[in-house]
Chains A and B, each alone.
Chain A
Amino acid sequence: DTEVTQTPKHLVMGMTNKKSLKCEQHMGHRAMYWYKQKAKKPPELMFVYSYEKLSINESVPSRFSPECPNSSLLNLHLHALQPEDSALYLCASSQDLNSGTSYVDTQYFGPGTRLTVL
């Protein structure tokens, strides 16, 4: 099973709402990622978790709050977002984070959540 699932598929929210995005994988991967992708642009890394600990935060505004409750789940809590935060939010996972000398893990991506902020 090489599937990463994300819910919901679509989300529309107002600027005062609080919502959460959910990501799940059952491949035993220990690294999980959140990306933001604008239309026709490459994904931009937001957060990386390794062994359920936040490893990388790419200077993301605090209105985005990640959470990794266990090794299979990754959440992204949203609060007081702006219209410019509207995008496709992608979750990915890989076996591990460290590349080592000759081994690097392929990232497997979920289908994404299309977020619209009104």
Chain B
Amino acid sequence: AQSVAQPEDQVNVAEGNPLTVKCTYSVSGNPYLFWYVQYPNRGLQFLLKYITGDNLVKGSYGFEAEFNKSQTSFHLKKPSALVSDSALYFCAAYNFNKFYFGSGTKLNVKP
């Protein structure tokens, strides 16, 4: 079965510290990989995507993600977290016209 895993339900980090939100995937072929962010009572907002090329992808709001094919991972990172980054983050893999979403990770950034 195709799946995307986000092993952490919640990540807590202090403002100014680096953050990592983990994602691994088990999707056949060479899926395209996405990160979305969702604020309370809002739809998903696109952050970044990996299709091919450089393993480090830069996206919106200072976020970046590192693709590792051997580990089938696509971790989201940011060098310095902001309180306003607190939200629910979804990793997704796209293949054969279908998105597979992870279960989501709640990021809490404390002042």
Residues of A within 8 A of B (CB): 4, 6, 40-43, 45, 48, 55-56, 88, 90, 92, 97-99, 102-104, 106-112, 114
Q: How far is the CB of A80 from chain B (nearest CB, A)?
A: 26
A42-B90, A109-B44 known; A103+B51 contact, CB < 8 A = yes
Q: Is the CB of A111 within 8 A of B43?
A: yes
Q: Are A110 and B43 in contact (CB under 8 A)?
A: yes
Could you list which residues of chain B lie within 8 angstroms of chain A, going by C-beta atoms?
A: 32, 34, 36, 41-46, 49, 51-52, 88, 90, 94-99, 101-104, 106
Of B51, B88, B96, B97, most buried by chain A (CB within 10 Å of CB) is B97
Whole-angstrom distance between the alpha carbons of A98 and B97 in the complex? 6
Q: Which residues on A sit within 8 Å (CB–CB) of B52?
A: 102
When the two chains form their complex, are residues A42 and B51 in contact, meaning their CB atoms are under 8 A apart?
Answer: no
A12 to B51, alpha carbons, bound, how many Å? 40
In the bound complex, residues from chain B placing their C-beta under 8 Å from that of A112 are 41-43
Which 4 pairs across A and B sit closest by C-beta, in order of nearness?
A42-B101, A109-B43, A109-B44, A104-B32
State A24–B4 Cα separation when bound (angstroms): 29
- CB <8 Å contact, B103 and A45: no
**Inter-chain contact B101/A43, CB cutoff 8 Å:** yes
